[in-house]
A and B are shown apart, each in its own frame.
Chain A
Amino acid sequence: MSDVLEQTERIESTMLDSPWVTIVWNDPVNLMNYVSWVFRSYFGFSRAEANVRMLQVHHDGRAVVATGSREEMERHVEAMHDFGLWATLARAGE
């Protein structure tokens, strides 16, 4: 019985721990080569990947650049603010 309870609690905590995302928003100030460089140097994206995400920010107004726990996403958002990029975090799918 206690095993079942434990298992249920574990499943519930996994479901509650739904992933969060880091979103970078378009702004008229940041240079395209700078945004691409930030994505490469901080997230370790390849040049091609960084350019795709940078262009997504530019054309779609925003791009998801990371997924994970809330704490992890808060660290990424703080790092993006260090670079002067406009970033927020949100629950995945919102």
Chain B
Amino acid sequence: MRAFRRSRHQFVAVFNPDEAGTLSILASQVIALLEDRGSHDSDPALLRLLPDAYSDDAEASAEFRRFTADDLASRKAANGRRIVADLATAAGSTSATAVKVDAQAAEAWVRSLTDIRLTIAARLGIEADDDLGSEDPAMRDLYDWLGFVQGSLVDCMDR
């Protein structure tokens, strides 16, 4: 992996095939979670992806969700599909491959990377700043790596 760097009007990172494949699978899993979602109460990840809009009014939150959740979920799924599409070549390659993301795609990437990290954090039980999610070190490493990927892309966009 080489972190995202700005190259004229694009952002470029280098992914190994397994890295690209892993990120692509994670994005697909979040898409499936959003598209096949059942009750919100049953899944902490869904509850974080489509959170309550009112902290102390369950009825107003339910009403808000009724009007916004379908559209929010499809926009989030579309962002995930952008990542899957942009990584297809790198994931199918036999060597490290440059992945180029334009400014518009980068908007989808950083949103979807957030959704993926929120989902993993919910699975790892990371709820406070000092939670380590250390029961699953491999998943924690993956979570930190995703933070590194996203952070490098935000740094490029933020200039």
Contact = CB atoms under 8 A, between A and B. Distances in A.
Interface of A: 23, 26-31, 33-34, 36-37, 40, 74, 77-78, 81-84, 86-90
**Interface size band for B:** 20 to 34
Contacts of A23: 55
Interface string B105-129: 0000011001101100100001111
Interface in B65-85: 68, 72, 75-76
B21 to A, nearest CB: 23
Contact of A29 (B51, B117, B151): B117
Interface of A: prevailing SS: mixed
A77 B53 contact: yes
Given A82-B72, A84-B118, A31 B53 contact: no
B154 A33 contact: yes
B106 to A, nearest CB: 11
B128 A28 contact: yes
Interface in B49-69: 49-56, 64, 68
B158 A33 contact: yes
Interface centre among A40, A81, A86 (most CB of B within 10 A): A81
Contact of A33 (B68, B111, B129, B155): B155
B51 A86 contact: yes
Interface string B24-66: 0000000000000000000000001111111110000000100
A63 to B, nearest CB: 14
A17 B124 CA distance: 42
Contact of A83 (B68, B114, B117, B130): B114
